[in-house]
């Protein structure tokens, strides 16, 4: 057997340690993200952690980078994705709220809870908020909305969704899908056309 593969087996992997830290964060908060409990979760020795991370702070930084790349990165990308109309652009952003591979709401809640304990993490969250709001405002400006209107619409969209996350709202998917056309109309002042809705529902495997 290749020695490097054998070593990797008994030491774990950076992805494994990061995955364990992610689940601990979601389940019990940042105070649960500690090396010994993670080692027990992975059935690995505590010392194997240090093959991949210098210390707990480096692991926490990796968690934060993962959140930043996934949630902020994907929201910005969806706001910039090709769209023939503001309605289509809005539906592109809605992908984030319906597909956890784009935007992880539980991760978002956990990071925001962490920010209540740490001024540094609060600054990270505030920077993410600014970046996301700017991206949404630019999306509206791209379709001819004036800067003030674009800013207010961006804030309305974003703060509604953060409210969903903060309140840990559980909404039946069929109910949420039924509300999508009205959300789009309220946010954009444009009535979505059926073909735009059909494409959106189709990619989320929902029968309209």
Q: What is the pLDDT along the chain (208 residues), one digit of tens a residue?
A: 333 333 445 678 999 999 999 999 999 999 999 999 999 999 999 999 999 999 999 999 999 999 999 999 999 999 999 999 999 999 999 999 999 999 999 999 999 999 999 999 999 999 999 999 999 999 999 999 999 999 999 999 999 999 999 998 888 888 999 999 999 999 999 999 999 999 999 999 887 6
In a domain, 197, yes or no: yes
- CATH number for the domain harbouring residue 15: 1.10.10
- Please check whether residues 93 and 149 belong to one and the same domain: yes
In a domain, 124, yes or no: yes
Burial letters for 42-63: b for 16+ Cβ neighbours within 10 Å, e otherwise?
Answer: bebeeebbeebbeeeeebbebb
- Which domain does 1 fall in, by range? 1-53
User: Taking the model in full, what pTM does it have?
Assistant: 0.91
- Please check whether residues 110 and 196 belong to one and the same domain: yes
- Please check whether residues 113 and 175 belong to one and the same domain: yes
Burial letters for 130-152: b for 16+ Cβ neighbours within 10 Å, e otherwise?
Answer: eebbebbbebbeebebeeeebbe
In a domain, 208, yes or no: no
How far, in Å, CA of 134 to CA of 138, rounded?
Answer: 6
- Please check whether residues 180 and 95 belong to one and the same domain: yes
| Domains contained in the chain, number | 2
């Amino acid at each position: 057997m290749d020695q490097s593969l054998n070593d990797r087996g008994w030491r774990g992997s950076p992805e494994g340690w990061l995955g364990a830290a992610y689940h601990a964060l979601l389940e019990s908060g940042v105070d649960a993200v500690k090396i010994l409990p993670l080692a027990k979760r992975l059935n690995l020795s505590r010392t194997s952690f240090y093959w991949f991370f210098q210390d707990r702070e480096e692991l926490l930084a990796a968690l934060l980078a993962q959140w930043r790349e996934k949630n902020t990165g994907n929201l910005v990308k969806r706001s910039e994705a090709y769209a023939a109309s503001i309605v289509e652009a809005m539906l592109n952003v809605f992908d984030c709220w319906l597909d956890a591979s784009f935007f992880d709401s539980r991760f978002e809640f956990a990071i925001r809870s962490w920010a209540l304990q740490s001024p540094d993490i609060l600054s990270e969250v505030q920077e993410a908020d600014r970046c996301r709001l700017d991206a949404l405002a630019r999306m509206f400006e791209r379709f001819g909305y004036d800067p003030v209107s674009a800013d207010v619409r961006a804030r309305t969209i974003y703060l509604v969704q953060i409210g969903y996350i903060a309140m840990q709202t559980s909404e039946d998917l069929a109910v949420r899908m039924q509300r999508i056309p009205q959300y789009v109309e309220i946010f954009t002042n444009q009535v979505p056309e059926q073909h735009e809705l059909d494409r959106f529902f189709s990619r989320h495997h929902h029968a309209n």
